[in-house]
Amino acid sequence: MSESEIDAVVFDVLGTLVDEPAGVRAGIRALDPSLDAAGVERLLSLWQRHIDGEQRRILDGARPYLASDALDREAARLVADAAGVDDPTAVAALAVSGRRLPPWPDTAAGLARLAARFPLIGLSNASRTALLELNAHAGLRWHQALSAEDARSYKPDPAVYRLAVTVSGRPPERLLMVAAHAWDLRAAQGLGLRAAYVSRPVGDPPASSDRFDLYADDLADLADQLDRTDGLSG
C-alpha cells in the first residue's frame, strides 16, 4: 500500500495507542493498596469481563444502550464490592481510571509522523467525555476523534466504523484502519476499509485465516511500510 492509495488513517485507541489494562490496574491498586499482584489481576479480569459482556449484551439487543461511562461505573462497583471497599469517593476514582491510560512508548512520535502526511481519525468505544480526557492525558494527536457514542453502539457494529467513513467523506477503501485487535480489523474490513495490524502486548493477534493489508511491529514500522510499499496484493 502506498501513501497515494489512502486518504486518511483511522486508529483504534484502547489497547492500540494506550495501555488500557495498566491504567485500570493503577486504579485498582489505589482502591486497595493491600492487594498483591494476583489480587490486582483477579479484579482487573472482573472489570474486563463485565465491560466486554455488557457491550456484547448491548450489541445483541439484550440491554438498552449505555455509554462507556456508565459501564465503567458498574465495573468499578463490582470491583469495589469484591475488594470489600465501600468508600464512594474511592469507587468514583476507580470508575474514571480508564481515562488515565499511559500511551505506548512509540505512540506520540508515531502519530506525529503519520499526521504530517495523513488526516488521522481516532475511533474508540470510549464515550465522548472519556475520549476527550484520555486523549489529553496520553497526549494523543488527532485531526478528528470519534466516539462510538455517536452511533449509540460499540465496535464491532458496522455503524461505528461508518462514522469514520462519513466524517472523511471518502469511500471506505480509501481509509486505513489501524488496530491491535484482529476482531476490530475484521469488522472494519467488512465495511470495506483497509486494515493494518499493529502488535501490542494486550492486543488480539491475527488468526492464520486473516488477510490484513499491513502487519507492523509498532507505529514507526507502520509508517516505514506506508513509505515503501508500492501496492496491495489481491
Are 209 and 191 in contact by the 8 Å Cβ rule? The answer is no
First-to-last C-alpha distance (Å) of the chain: 11
pLDDT at 234 over 80: no
The answer to whether residue 234 is domain-embedded is no
| pTM greater than 0.85 | yes
Measuring CA to CA, how many Å separate 93 from each of 43, 89, 192, 200? 15, 6, 40, 27
50 and 87 share one domain = yes
Residue 66 banded pLDDT, cuts 50, 70, 90: very high
Same domain (yes/no): 123, 201: yes
Which amino acid appears at position 177 of this protein?
Answer: M
Identify whether residues 42 and 55 lie together within a single domain. Answer: yes
Q: Mind listing the pLDDT tens digit for each residue in 149-178?
A: 999 999 999 999 999 999 999 999 999 999
pLDDT tens track for 91-129: 999 999 999 999 999 999 999 999 999 999 999 999 999
- Domain span at residue 80 reads 20-99
6 Cβ neighbours under 8 A, 6+ residues apart: 118, 174, 175, 176, 194, 226
What mean pLDDT is reported for the chain? 95
